[in-house]
Amino acid sequence: MGRILSRREVITTVILLAAALSYWSPLGLAAPLVVIPLVAALWFFARERRIRAEQVATLRVILQHASDLILIVERDGRLRRVLGASATLLGDAESGGRLIDHVHEDDVPAVLRYLDAGTGEAEFRLRHADGSVRHVHAVAADLTRDERVRGLVLTVRDDESRQALRHRAWHDPLTGLANRALFDERLTETGEPAVLFIDLDAFKPINDRLGHAAGDEVLRIVARRLQTCVRATDTVARLGGDEFALLVEAGSELEVAARVEEAFADPFAVGGELLVVTASVGVAAGGEDVLAAADRAMYAVKRQHARDDRLPAAGLGDSDGRGPGTR
């Protein structure tokens, strides 16, 4: 696009044109009657063109500083335009490249299906030029029939903040385990749940003698050890305080309970000391309120410990009376 004439340049040009017409035209002085509408038309045209140019320039600046990444993409994944937060989310993406080249390899099939559909929303991972991975949320608009665009418009937003908020809402900040809300959610989704309710014995004296920092470290060690007792599909949760719960596959609960007992066998290295930490474990399977049943079984084990007047390495009890507890 050529240079846009200013208002003064347009008026000057038209005045010169009018003077020339007045001199050469047989209309003589009547020429201004012809030229004046022409002046108005040219000035209006120049004004509108300048406004459009300013709008385009403003839009370009806004897009360049947008927090979202805006992509115009072909169905085959070729990038036609890259606008917005490309430096933040991609680093080196250029028009003419392929979106797939920047997608995490595990997400490529899903992204290809998403591009083929051409509409809707999707969550996937982008690989930045520096090697880091960004979780993103994308919204697609199919403008392939629009002659001005002729492609899919993807608005891609960094989803890390939302992922972090989601994680905080469902996880215990101290241990990183599932919290009570996530545990309850998964419990309701499980057809035949089995639950282990775990409560640390004599945890308060550890806090009182060594301080809360040492107590927190004990809880973190417990969390790590409990995670070694279950499968990847099971759930380990901190319900609050020194109470933990495991949601496991029905039929595996006693085997898992035995592994929990072994997990407490070794002392805990905390604050330069080796602490013997014990726990009472209640087991329950099936039923509508299986967590409450496991809680009751756990307290039965604690009462037995009190009767024995000593703390075993770990106590095991179940809601069906399958044993008074073992050490």
| Per-residue pLDDT reduced to its tens digit, 201-255 | 989 999 899 999 999 999 999 999 999 999 999 999 999 999 999 999 999 999 9
Q: What is the pLDDT of residue 192?
A: 85
Q: Which of 54-68, 70-84, 102-116 has the highest mean pLDDT?
A: 102-116
| Per-residue pLDDT reduced to its tens digit, 113-153 | 898 888 889 989 888 888 888 888 899 999 988 888 888 99
Q: What is the mean pLDDT of residues 65-72?
A: 74
CA end-to-end span of the chain: 85
Higher pLDDT pick, 166 / 226? 226
| Mean pLDDT, rounded, of the chain | 80
Cα–Cα distance between 38 and 13 in angstroms, integer?
11
Catalytic status, residue 242: yes
Least confident of 31-45, 151-165, 207-221, 293-307: 31-45
Q: Which of 33-42, 164-173, 281-290, 318-327 has the highest mean pLDDT?
A: 281-290
Token reading at 15: 């005045």
Least confident of 30-44, 67-81, 213-227: 30-44
pLDDT at 317 over 70: no
Q: What is the pLDDT of residue 144?
A: 85
Cα–Cα distance between 176 and 239 in angstroms, integer?
12
Q: Which of 14-18, 42-46, 101-105 has the highest mean pLDDT?
A: 101-105
Going by pLDDT thresholds of 50, 70 and 90, the confidence category of residue 64 is low
Q: Choose the catalytic residue: 159, 201, 242, 318.
A: 242
pLDDT at 269 over 60: yes
Q: What is the pLDDT of residue 52?
A: 72
Q: What is the mean pLDDT of residues 253-278?
A: 94
Q: What is the pLDDT of residue 100?
A: 87
Q: What is the pLDDT of residue 313?
A: 42
Higher pLDDT pick, 253 / 5? 253
Q: What is the pLDDT of residue 158?
A: 82
Angle of helix 31-64 versus helix 7-24 axis, rounded to 10: 160
- Quote the percentage of the chain above a pLDDT of 90: 39
> What's the one-letter identity of residue 277?
V
CATH number of 171-318: 3.30.70.270
Superfamily for domain range 69-164: PAS domain (3.30.450.20)
Angle of helix 212-227 versus helix 203-210 axis, rounded to 10: 140
| Per-residue pLDDT reduced to its tens digit, 173-185 | 999 999 999 999 9
- According to DSSP, the β-strands at 243-249 and 314-318 are unpaired
pLDDT at 48 over 60: yes
Q: What is the pLDDT of residue 327?
A: 34
pTM here?
0.55
- What is the full DSSP assignment across 57-100? HHHHHHHHT-SSEEEEE-TTSBEEEEEESHHHHTSS--TTSBGG
Q: What is the pLDDT of residue 261?
A: 94
Q: Domain limits of the chain? A: 7-63, 69-164, 171-318
- Quote the percentage of the chain above a pLDDT of 70: 71
